[in-house]
Amino acid sequence: MEDNILKVEGLSKNYGKLRALSGLDLSINKGQVFGLLGPNGSGKTTTLGIILGATLPDKGSFRWFGQPLAGKSLKRIGAILEHPNFYPYLDAVDNLRIIAQVRCTPEQDIERVLQLTGLSDRRKHRFQTYSFGMKQRLAIASAMLGNPEVLILDEPTNGLDPGGIAEIRELITSIASLGTTIILASHLLDEVQKVCSHVAVLQKGVKLFSGSVDDVLSNTETIVIGSADLSKLETVLKDYPHYLSHTIRGNYAELKTRGMCNPSDVNQFLFSKGISCSHLVMNKKSLESYFLEITGNHPGSEKI
């Protein structure tokens, strides 16, 4: 069994003076839902273009299933990089039939992907009558023809309303539960946190972090502490056994700790040092707070 699906080493790409990617390393394993997360100009779309052979890198290499990219590898990958293009006057079945013929995929697979994406009831309706969310589901259905081992999606919920976002999120989760490895590029923090098992954070072509989403959410905790003697509190916090770092914000200290930490233990520690807390609240770690912490920017929606 091949555990490693994609290995990326030192990918770099410039467009004139614009640096799109700089020495990108990634490792994606079988069964992961891997999110590429980044603000404006982070290199997400460039990365997907390179690993699918649509864009040539300036430096670096990548291997699918342990081998260089080839036609045999591409048959194991389904992808949506741009907005889906279908014939507006044809129904879902006829549109998918054309795609199946181009990909040399049996037409019998059409019914399976329509069932998978919840479009069976609208199978004979023209594409032009579909909502934007339904059009996106049909695009995913087309990418799933032939039952690929890997599904690549570039901003799959871009432009959708909250209901459409929830539908696509549920569909992605359903596909992942079948064992399909999914690579998802997005600027939506909430989407990545709810759907992905792993994430790489990119900024201006540089990878800032890569790892498990659970690790991001559980490795550190933030406890907001208030005390009459803020100066003494700041000194004492550094002696706390699980101390990682702290920040003073107004009249409060924000303590970051290693691993899970019980607020009552912090309170007991501070009391033993002669400090009474007027305020002590644990803030749950979120992907958004981590993202803003390491990038110092708000996520955007532009692509490279």
pLDDT at 300 over 50: no
pLDDT at 125 over 60: yes
Task: Return d(Cα 31, Cα 34) in angstroms, integer.
Answer: 9
pLDDT at 220: 59
What mean pLDDT comes out for the span 250-255? 87
**Domains in the chain with CATH codes:** 4-216 (3.40.50.300), 219-284 (3.30.70.100)
Nearest Cα residue to 221 out of 158, 289, 153: 289
pLDDT at 289: 67
pLDDT at 298 over 50: no
Residue-wise burial string across 211-238, b where 16 or more C-beta atoms lie within 10 A, e elsewhere: eebeebbebbbbbbbebeebeebbebbe
Average pLDDT, the chain: 88
Task: Return d(Cα 60, Cα 2) in angstroms, integer.
Answer: 22
pLDDT at 303: 44
Q: Is 249 exposed, middle or buried (0-12, 13-18, 19+ CB in 10 A)?
A: exposed
pLDDT at 1: 41
Residue percentage of the chain with pLDDT more than 90: 55
pLDDT at 251 over 80: yes
Identity of the amino acid at 281: V
pLDDT at 108 over 90: yes
pLDDT at 228 over 70: yes
The region of weakest confidence among 4-18, 140-154, 233-247, 282-296 is: 282-296
Task: Return d(Cα 248, Cα 49) in angstroms, integer.
Answer: 43
Most trustworthy range by pLDDT among 70-79, 114-123, 203-212, 230-239: 114-123
Band of pLDDT at residue 213, cut at 50, 70 and 90? confident
pLDDT at 40: 72
pLDDT at 229: 87
Band of pLDDT at residue 293, cut at 50, 70 and 90? low
pLDDT at 136: 93
pLDDT at 114 over 90: yes
pLDDT at 299: 41
